[in-house]
Amino acid sequence: MSDGTHLTTWVTREIKDRFAAVARDQGLSDSALLKRLVDLMLQSAGAAEVGTPGGADRTSRDSRLTVRIRPDDQLLLRERAAARGMATATYVSVLTRSHLRSLAPLPKAEWLILERILTELGKLGRNINQIARAANRGERVSDPGSTQFRAMLRICEALRVHTKGLLQANAKSWQQGYEDQK
């Protein structure tokens, strides 16, 4: 936080230990829990907008929502976020946004696979254009039953099937919460 400042207080060792235990149970550092408590107190007191620079003009990244979940749900949440290579809070944010806006976002790994597929399709398209140009110039071109054409057709069909399966698995995983484990 570049615009942050430091807030300190003194408490007994017992209170500090109890506070640290609560923070640990929630998967937070002592500082993160203390910040959350200060934010909650200010919101409940109606002081969040009073005297704060920018007030309601803060960026959406500063919009926070605190949610309590059961420990077993938190374990599932961490597992699912890790499976998608996301931080837990980011995963919840993306999940909420996808639900509210009826989206099916693609995780980075799946996005990279689609980019690779597009690259391969581009190569195939260039090859087909070269064959078409040769045919238009009157050069001898292999007939459509040749090995080269069959290979390109198999590649195109495999890419189509793979892409369709990837998109279906992505949509299903966001609806059900699990990635397709095939």
Domain hosting residue 79, numbered range: 69-103
Q: Given a cut of 70, is residue 94 above it in pLDDT? A: yes
CA distance 110 to 125: 23
Question: Is 42 in the same domain as 81?
Answer: no
CB 182 within 8 A of CB 115: no
Confidence at residue 145, expressed as pLDDT on a 0 to 100 scale: 61
How far out from the chain centre does Cα 24 lie? 25
Asked whether residue 50 is assigned to any structural domain, the reply reads yes
Work out the number of other CB atoms within 10 angstroms of the CB of residue 27.
Answer: 12
Which pLDDT tens digit goes with each residue over 122-159?
888 888 888 888 888 888 876 666 777 778 778 888 88
Distances (CA, A) of 82 to 72, 97, 106, 111, 179: 16, 18, 15, 17, 11
Asked whether residue 181 is assigned to any structural domain, the reply reads no
Question: Is 92 in the same domain as 151?
Answer: no
* Structural domain count of the chain: 3
Which pLDDT tens digit goes with each residue over 14-41?
989 998 898 888 888 888 888 888 877 7
CB 75 within 8 A of CB 82: no
Stretch among 41-45, 79-83, 91-95, 133-137 having the lowest mean pLDDT:
41-45
CA distance 51 to 73: 38
Asked whether residue 182 is assigned to any structural domain, the reply reads no
Question: Is 15 in the same domain as 75?
Answer: no
Asked whether residue 27 is assigned to any structural domain, the reply reads yes
CA distance 138 to 29: 73
Confidence at residue 13, expressed as pLDDT on a 0 to 100 scale: 92
Question: Is 171 in the same domain as 131?
Answer: yes
Question: Is 62 in the same domain as 34?
Answer: yes
DSSP state of 143: -
Distances (CA, A) of 70 to 10, 25, 81, 141: 31, 11, 16, 66
Asked whether residue 83 is assigned to any structural domain, the reply reads yes
Q: Given a cut of 70, is residue 50 above it in pLDDT? A: no
Question: Is 164 in the same domain as 143?
Answer: yes
Question: Is 62 in the same domain as 1?
Answer: yes
Question: Is 133 in the same domain as 77?
Answer: no
Question: Is 38 in the same domain as 60?
Answer: yes
User: 17-21, 101-105, 112-116 — which one is most confidently predicted on average?
Assistant: 17-21
pTM of the entire predicted model? 0.38
Question: Is 147 in the same domain as 117?
Answer: yes
Q: What is the mean pLDDT of the segment spanning 95-108?
A: 76
